[in-house]
């Protein structure tokens, strides 16, 4: 499918880490992007693979940067995972590796989290966990080996922190994959489930929706897997040289989210 022109974009699915901020530092043009999208009537969903925070926590972080969005404009891989399980396995009893936001999203969809009684688990859901321990890995390994379904919120092997590139959830999934011989079902990018959920929220379609991200292997590939136009920014994981050398080719490349805003403004004038 050919990329749609910038002037045809009416809906955006925008990554956050490495696009809007790195750790606690806002990236250039972040506020300008939101002002431009609102003024042009472009709807957006902020869709992140980062499983460490709930949607409400992301709203609070955005407010700290002086940006106001609604909860409906945020979609995290925990939210997408919870929605998927609520639709396909509403009786699931879940052992969780992850931070409090992941368990909170699962419970919000009526799913039972059984970390205190892991022997009851029918599913193991794994998200990024900065308090990861060997005991958590061992418990998850045993459960998966006994037949519990293995689900990963997202496959990102690294995370762009303010200190630099550090291990992401994909590193945890890799440990469980090699110790169980089981491949996880991935809900987040690059699988198309999150993109489809985001488009459904906005009423978007491939003919008027684009994805903005900083990673070729999740954001850009995820957009391509959903048949969407893709926009890479160079403020996160992927460098310009990597983008030029990769088999995964974004439709547009901009230096940062501010440059995306400027291009959208120009295309609509």
Locate the domains of the chain by residue range: 6-49+189-267, 89-186
What's the mean pLDDT in 18-24? 92
pLDDT reported for residue 1:
65
Cβ neighbours of 88 (radius 10 Å): 10
What's the pTM value of the predicted model, to 2 decimals? 0.86
Is 15 among the residues known to form the active site? yes
Active-site pick, 15, 217, 219, 251: 15
Measured in degrees and rounded to the nearest 5, phi and psi for residue 167 equal -60, 140
Q: Which residue has the tokens 């940062």?
A: 256
Same fold, 6-49+189-267 and 89-186: yes
In contact, 257 and 19? CB cutoff 8 Å: yes
CA distance 8 to 183: 38
Mean pLDDT computed over every residue of the chain: 95
Indicate if the pLDDT at residue 2 is higher than 80. no
Element (H, E) at 54: none
What's the mean pLDDT in 92-102? 94
Is 251 among the residues known to form the active site? no
| Confidence band for 23, pLDDT divided at 50, 70 and 90 | confident
The fold adopted by the segment(s) 6-49+189-267 is Rossmann fold (3.40.50)
User: What does the DSSP 8-state code read for residue 148?
Assistant: -
CA distance 241 to 238: 8
| Confidence band for 57, pLDDT divided at 50, 70 and 90 | confident
Higher pLDDT, 124 or 162: 124
**Which CATH code is given to the segment(s) 89-186?**
3.40.50.1000
In contact, 75 and 197? CB cutoff 8 Å: yes
Active-site pick, 17, 156, 219, 251: 17
Residue 208: name the closest of 43, 4, 49, 68 by CA. 4
CA distance 83 to 95: 16
């Amino acid at each position: 499918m050919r990329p749609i022109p910038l002037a045809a974009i009416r809906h955006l699915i925008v990554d956050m880490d490495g696009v809007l901020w790195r750790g606690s530092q806002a990236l250039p043009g972040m506020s300008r992007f939101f002002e431009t999208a609102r003024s042009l009537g472009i709807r957006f969903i902020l869709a992140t693979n980062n499983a460490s925070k709930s949607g409400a926590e992301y709203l609070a972080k955005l407010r700290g940067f002086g940006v106001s969005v609604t909860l409906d404009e945020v979609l995290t891989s925990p939210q997408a995972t919870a929605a998927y399980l609520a639709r396909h396995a509403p009786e699931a009893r879940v052992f969780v590796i992850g931070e409090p936001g992941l368990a909170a999203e699962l419970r919000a969809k009526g799913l039972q989290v059984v970390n205190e009684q892991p022997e009851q688990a029918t599913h193991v859901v794994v998200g990024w966990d900065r308090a990861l321990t060997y005991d958590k890995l061992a418990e998850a390994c045993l459960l998966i080996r006994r037949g519990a379904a293995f689900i990963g919120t997202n496959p990102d092997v690294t995370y762009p922190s303010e200190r630099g590139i550090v291990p992401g959830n994909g590193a945890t999934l890799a440990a469980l994959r090699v110790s169980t011989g089981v491949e996880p079902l991935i809900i987040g990018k690059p699988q198309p489930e999150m993109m489809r959920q985001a488009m459904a929220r906005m009423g978007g379609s491939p003919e008027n929706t684009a994805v903005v991200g900083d990673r070729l292997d999740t954001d850009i590939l995820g957009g391509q897997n959903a048949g969407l136009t893709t926009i890479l920014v160079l403020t996160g994981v992927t460098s310009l040289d990597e983008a030029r050398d990769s088999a995964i080719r974004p439709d547009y490349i901009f230096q940062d989210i501010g440059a995306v805003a400027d291009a959208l403004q120009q295309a609509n004038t």
